[in-house]
Amino acid sequence: MGSAKTLGRRGHTAASMDEIAELAGASKPLVYLYLNSKEDLFTACIRRETAALTAAVRSGVRTGLRTANPSRRGRPGAPGDRRVRDPSDRRRGA
């Protein structure tokens, strides 16, 4: 969605509803018909992205995905290893 990219690139304050409407291929009054303010648009973008992230995490949990690169499973310290280590444990790869 162009609005999320615009808000992310330019920031909430600097992004204009004119620019967002143009990227959406809609008129500014039409955007305001569905969203009362830039804050409502921002909230809608955050909700949509949160839902997408939640779905991705749930999908990974359901499939047992542990790392971004499954070929590196079981190799502590390998690139892509996301396990949290105890900083007091000084053993290499622990």
Where in the sequence is the domain holding 11, given as residue range(s)? Answer: 2-66
Q: Between the CA atoms of 11, 16, 21 and 22, what dihedral angle is there, to the nearest 10 degrees?
A: -100
Separation CA 14–CA 12 (nearest Å): 6
pTM for the model: 0.53
Predicted local distance difference test score (pLDDT) of residue 45: 87
DSSP state, residue 70 = G
Give domain status of residue 16, yes or no.
yes
User: How many CB atoms within 10 Å of residue 44?
Assistant: 15
Predicted local distance difference test score (pLDDT) of residue 94: 47
Predicted local distance difference test score (pLDDT) of residue 71: 56
Mean pLDDT of the chain: 76
Query: pLDDT, tens digit, for every residue of 30-76?
Result: 988 988 888 898 898 899 989 999 998 888 877 766 655 555 555 55
Give domain status of residue 93, yes or no.
no
- The CATH number assigned to the domain holding 52 equals 1.10.357.10
φ, ψ (nearest 5 deg) of residue 31: -60, -45
